[in-house]
Amino acid sequence: MPETIILGSDHAGFELKEEVKRHLEDRGFAVEDVGTHSGEPVDYPDVAHAVAAAVGGGRVARGVLVCGTGLGVSMAANRHAGVRAAVAYDDETARLSREHNDSNVLALGGRSLDHALAERILDIWLETPFAGGRHARRVAKIELGGGEPGAAR
């Protein structure tokens, strides 16, 4: 059974979301698309919360969100426990968000990335494993209460 990736966007990210959806399906992933399903205006927190609830709740392991810049959806998604949403805008940020930060939600900018770059970022993010080691300790401290009070970070 293929891995399911949950996917959502606002109106500014709709076109790129549709490209990402096709790209994921072409790669053999199952895609759960929580919308939006047109270019009509919607509020980005609504789709971000739907994706983040599924990832943070453990129903799916990974998700992708798209808005104009990726910033708004990442901010909303990161309000959920267990979600590490990262805005990636080039190869390096895509790789490091996985390798060092174990991101489980990728946020992309529909108005700031061309589609070919967005697909390359997505591929790098999907294929890069979490390095663990010293990074695992740091990632554990992301959750509130995850570290010792007053401990040096």
Contact 108, 122 (CB under 8 A): yes
Q: Catalytic residue numbers? A: 67, 100
Predicted model pTM:
0.94
Q: Which tokens belong to 10?
A: 């606002």
Q: In terms of DSSP bridges, do strands 105-109 and 62-67 run parallel, antiparallel, or are they unpaired?
A: parallel
pLDDT at 147 over 60: no
pLDDT at residue 145, rounded to an integer: 61
- Write down all domains in the chain, each with its CATH number in brackets: 4-140 (3.40.1400.10)
pLDDT digits (tens, 9 = 90+) for 15-71: 999 999 999 999 999 999 999 999 999 999 999 999 999 999 999 999 999 999 999
The amino acid at residue 101 is N
The owner of tokens 């909303």 is: 76
pLDDT digits (tens, 9 = 90+) for 82-127: 999 999 999 999 999 999 999 999 999 999 999 999 999 999 999 9
Give the SS3 label for residue 21: helix
